Structure 1
Amino acid sequence: MASILQSPGRLLIAFTCIFTTFMGESKVAMSVFRPSNWALAHATFYGDETASATMGGACGYGNLFQSGYGTDTAALSSRLFNNGYACGTCYQIKCYQSSACYNNVAYTTVTATNLCPPNWSEPSDDGGWCNPPRAHFDMSKPAFMKIAQWKAGIVPILYRRVPCERKGGLRFAFQGNGYWLLVYVMNVGGGGDIGSMWVRGSRTGWIQMSHNWGASYQAFATLSGQSLSFRVTSYTTKETVIAWNVAPSNWNVGLTYSSTANFR
């Protein structure tokens, strides 16, 4: 049911609540996520062709190759980052009305994995691209090069939120200790985001976890020596999945545990 991996360290349409159980996972479907309307913004890039500068980041995904996100990623301005609740969200981006655009490219799809912080020493229209209230995407260089010539530096774009298509189940990267569990949730499908989360030990009831930062949630509880299950709710769709017995009783920090449960 669960496997272990090595790891480093708004358009909503409401439906009648449906509860289903399959292969040990449970799902409560509250709504379905549809692509948003296209909106105007700008895009820049950071790092080089290797995308090594994009590893880590404010969402806490660590090595983006090992966590499954690769180089198709972007850092969001604070207006879009939403204090970390936008971590894992997916966007289609296409270059718009610039001589640097590759006109034969419809769009590329990126995942939000980092924050592009404000640069208050520069005006928002000349260097301070991520200053509020701007919507801005600071893309990895490989992702930027799919839509425009990198020498342009900055290009106007059209963007829209889209559902995240993920292969495999949710991944839970553990940090902390037996009395404080910090979990980074990765490979999230559907809305791609996490709005709330609970953990349940084999000797406890459901314990609500608090949002730490980025894609991480924490529980101040004694959970060592217990197998762990998680209940996760999407920030965007409010859909909930329950991943039973994700981590065995001898779980340890520094490891990533996976489940077949995911959002669709």
Structure 2
Amino acid sequence: MGLTLDNCFSLMFVIFILLLPSLCFSQDYYVSSRATYYGSPDCLGTPTGACGYKAYGSTINGGEVSGVSRLFKNGTGCGACYQVRCKSPKHCSENGVKVVVTDHGEGDNTDFILSTRAYNKLALPGLAEALFSYGVVDVEYKRIPCQYSGYNLMFKVHEHSRFPDYLSLIPIYQAGVSEITAVEIWQEDCQEWVCMRRAYGAVWDMPNPPRGQPEGAINVRIQVTGSSGSKWVQLKNLIPSAWKVGAAYDTSIQLD
């Protein structure tokens, strides 16, 4: 029996749904959009971005960072890396610039609000001034893996934390294209994992956190979502029981 038009449509829909996760995370194609820029005295990023990265967010990737609109994804998009290039051959470099998402922002129908340093790299040498004069340019972008040579994934104790009553964590140097979609802490006395709350951006928090295991450290596990679905990764003894505000603790791993 041959396939009807309805059968073919249903089959194509099922195939699309099966391929959707890989399309979202392993993006080999460019998407058309628009980009603008924001000014800063040092041409770097901003330490007040919606992702909560503070000073890290202004200097990561050499300050070539971006605020995004819909790609922010309620904070899940924080730390993602994109290749962005403008589309006017007269002014634009072939490869454009790699940016890291550190903020949320809305522009004139733009997906990207680039730091001045990142916007400058969209242009061919000597043509940046002309590109800046446009204010908003047509671009195309794709998701690419983040790479941080010499760094593992770390969890930093956010500056808003107050030992020992309130713990706030933020992942930094997160490589690959996977996204952290949940963070939990082991509660020894109850023998269960307790969810941290996504406070905002990439910041996870918990009031009255566990005080650590008998060996003096707190176990953490993270849910990681990528092209192959979701999985839990356990980080044993990651946070010392006497944790310090501002300290960054090395996970000794890196995400895909």
Q: TM-score, normalised by structure 2?
A: 0.75
Does residue 82 (structure 1) correspond to residue 73 (structure 2)? The answer is yes
- Point out the structure with the larger strand share: 1
Corresponding position of 1:96: 87
Instruction: Give the Cα–Cα distance (whole angstroms) in 2 for the partners of residues 46 and 191 of structure 1.
Output: 26
**Secondary structure, aligned partner of 1:64:** helix
Q: Could you tell me how far 1:12 is from its partner in structure 2?
A: 2.9
Describe the shift of the 1:243–1:185 C-alpha distance in structure 2 as closer, same or farther (beyond 3 A): same
Describe the shift of the 1:91–1:222 C-alpha distance in structure 2 as closer, same or farther (beyond 3 A): closer
Q: Could you tell me how far 1:116 is from its partner in structure 2?
A: 0.8
Q: TM-score, normalised by structure 1?
A: 0.73
User: 171-180 or 142-151: which moved more?
Assistant: 171-180
Does residue 184 (structure 1) correspond to residue 164 (structure 2)? The answer is no
User: C-alpha root-mean-square deviation of aligned residues, in Å?
Assistant: 2.7
Q: Could you tell me how far 1:195 is from its partner in structure 2?
A: 0.9
Does residue 12 (structure 1) correspond to residue 1 (structure 2)? The answer is no
Q: How does 1:1-264 map to 2 (within 5 A)?
A: 12-13=21-22, 33-48=25-40, 50-52=42-44, 54-64=46-56, 68-77=60-69, 79-97=70-88, 99-102=90-93, 105-117=94-106, 128-129=107-108, 134-148=109-123, 149=128, 150-167=132-149, 168-175=151-158, 176-177=161-162, 178-191=164-177, 193-200=179-186, 205-224=192-211, 226-237=216-227, 238-264=230-256
Corresponding position of 2:12: none
Greater relative contact order, per chain length (Cα 8 Å cut-off, separation 6+): 1
**Secondary structure, aligned partner of 1:191:** coil
Aligned 8 A contact 2:184 2:222 in 1: yes
Q: Could you tell me how far 1:233 is from its partner in structure 2?
A: 2.0
Q: Could you tell me how far 1:139 is from its partner in structure 2?
A: 0.5
Aligned 8 A contact 1:11 1:35 in 2: no
Task: State the one-letter code of the partner of 1:142.
Answer: R
Aligned 8 A contact 1:49 1:141 in 2: no
Q: Highest CA radius of gyration, 1 or 2?
A: 2
Describe the shift of the 1:157–1:52 C-alpha distance in structure 2 as closer, same or farther (beyond 3 A): closer
Q: Could you tell me how far 1:49 is from its partner in structure 2?
A: 6.8
Cα offsets for 1:110-136 (capped at 9, x unmatched): 11000114xxxxxxxxxx51xxxx451
Structure 2 unaligned spans of 5+: 1-18
Task: State the one-letter code of the partner of 1:97.
Answer: S
Aligned 8 A contact 2:35 2:139 in 1: yes
User: 48-57 or 86-95: which moved more?
Assistant: 48-57
**Secondary structure, aligned partner of 2:180:** coil
Describe the shift of the 1:153–1:137 C-alpha distance in structure 2 as closer, same or farther (beyond 3 A): same
Instruction: Give the Cα–Cα distance (whole angstroms) in 2 for the partners of residues 166 and 208 of structure 1.
Output: 28
Corresponding position of 1:123: none
Identity among equivalent positions (%) equals: 27
Q: Could you tell me how far 1:91 is from its partner in structure 2?
A: 0.6
Q: Could you tell me how far 1:81 is from its partner in structure 2?
A: 1.1
Aligned 8 A contact 1:60 1:214 in 2: yes
**Secondary structure, aligned partner of 2:171:** strand
Describe the shift of the 1:239–1:147 C-alpha distance in structure 2 as closer, same or farther (beyond 3 A): farther
Corresponding position of 1:3: none
User: 219-228 or 208-217: which moved more?
Assistant: 219-228
Corresponding position of 1:125: none
Q: Could you tell me how far 1:224 is from its partner in structure 2?
A: 3.4
Task: State the one-letter code of the partner of 1:246.
Answer: L
